[in-house]
Structure 1
Amino acid sequence: MNELLWIGFAFLDLTLTLLLYRFFGRAGIYGVIVFNLLLCNIQVLKTVTLFGLTTTLGNILYAGVFLATDMLSEFYGRKEAQRGVLLGFTVVVLATLYMQIALLFSPAEGDFAQPHLSAIFGLLPRLAIASICAYLISQMHDVWAFEFWKKKTQGRFLWLRNNASTLVSQLLDSAVFCLIAFWGVFPVPVLLEIMFTTYLFKGVVALLDTPFMYIARKVHAGNPDSRW
Structure 2
Amino acid sequence: MTDSTQTASGHTSSLAHVSAGQVRHFRYYDLVMAAFVAILLLSNIIGASKPSYIPLPDGRQWAFGAGVLFFPISYIIGDVLTEVYGYARARRVIWTGFAALAFMAFMAWVVVSLPPADGWPGQASYEFVFGNSWRIVLASMAAFWVGEFANSYVLARMKLATGGRFLWMRTIGSTIVGQGLDSLIFYPLAFYGLAGWPPEQLMQVVLSQWLFKTTWEVVLTPVTYAVVGLLKRREGVDVFDEGTDFNPFGAKV
In the superposition, the TM-score normalised over structure 2's length comes to 0.76
The whole-number CA distance in structure 1 between the counterparts of 2:91 and 2:219 is 23
**Is the CA contact (8 Å cut-off) linking 1:54 and 1:197 kept in structure 2?**
no
Moved more, 205-214 or 78-87: 205-214
- The DSSP-based 3-state class of the residue aligned with 2:70 is helix
Question: Is residue 204 of structure 2 the alignment partner of residue 200 of structure 1?
Answer: no
Distance 1:221 1:130, change over 3 A: closer
**Is the CA contact (8 Å cut-off) linking 1:142 and 1:166 kept in structure 2?**
yes
The match for 1:103 among 112, 118, 124 is: 112
Shift of 1:145: 0.3
What stretches of structure 1 move > 4 A for 4+ residues in a row?
A: none
Task: Give CA-to-partner distance per residue, 1:147-186, whole Å, 9 cap, x none.
Answer: 1110110111111111100122111111100110121122
Match of residue 81 from structure 1 = 90
The match for 2:53 among 27, 49, 53 is: 49
Moved more, 147-156 or 110-119: 110-119
The whole-number CA distance in structure 1 between the counterparts of 2:232 and 2:178 is 27
**Is the CA contact (8 Å cut-off) linking 1:167 and 1:206 kept in structure 2?**
no
The whole-number CA distance in structure 2 between the counterparts of 1:221 and 1:163 is 19
The match for 2:38 among 29, 35, 38 is: 35
The letter for the 2-side match of 1:58 is: G
The whole-number CA distance in structure 2 between the counterparts of 1:119 and 1:201 is 26
The structure whose residues are more often helix, as a share, is 1
The letter for the 2-side match of 1:45 is: S
The letter for the 2-side match of 1:183 is: Y
Match of residue 212 from structure 1 = 223
Tell me how large the CA RMSD over aligned residues is: 1.6
In the superposition, the TM-score normalised over structure 1's length comes to 0.84
Match of residue 26 from structure 1 = 29
The whole-number CA distance in structure 1 between the counterparts of 2:188 and 2:118 is 41
The whole-number CA distance in structure 2 between the counterparts of 1:91 and 1:209 is 26
Q: 1:1-228 to 2 correspondence within 5 Å?
A: 25-42=28-45, 43-50=47-54, 52=56, 53-185=62-194, 186-223=197-234
The whole-number CA distance in structure 1 between the counterparts of 2:224 and 2:216 is 13
Shift of 1:224: 6.3
The whole-number CA distance in structure 1 between the counterparts of 2:64 and 2:212 is 8
Rg: which structure is higher? 2
**Is the CA contact (8 Å cut-off) linking 2:84 and 2:232 kept in structure 1?**
no
- The DSSP-based 3-state class of the residue aligned with 1:184 is coil
Shift of 1:112: 2.4
Unaligned runs of 5+ in 1: 1-23
The whole-number CA distance in structure 2 between the counterparts of 1:127 and 1:88 is 17
Moved more, 148-157 or 213-222: 213-222
The letter for the 2-side match of 1:215 is: A
Moved more, 146-155 or 27-36: 27-36
**Is the CA contact (8 Å cut-off) linking 1:45 and 1:120 kept in structure 2?**
yes
The whole-number CA distance in structure 1 between the counterparts of 2:170 and 2:190 is 30
Q: How many residues align?
A: 202
The letter for the 2-side match of 1:39 is: L
The whole-number CA distance in structure 1 between the counterparts of 2:105 and 2:129 is 11
Match of residue 15 from structure 1 = none
The structure whose residues are more often strand, as a share, is 2
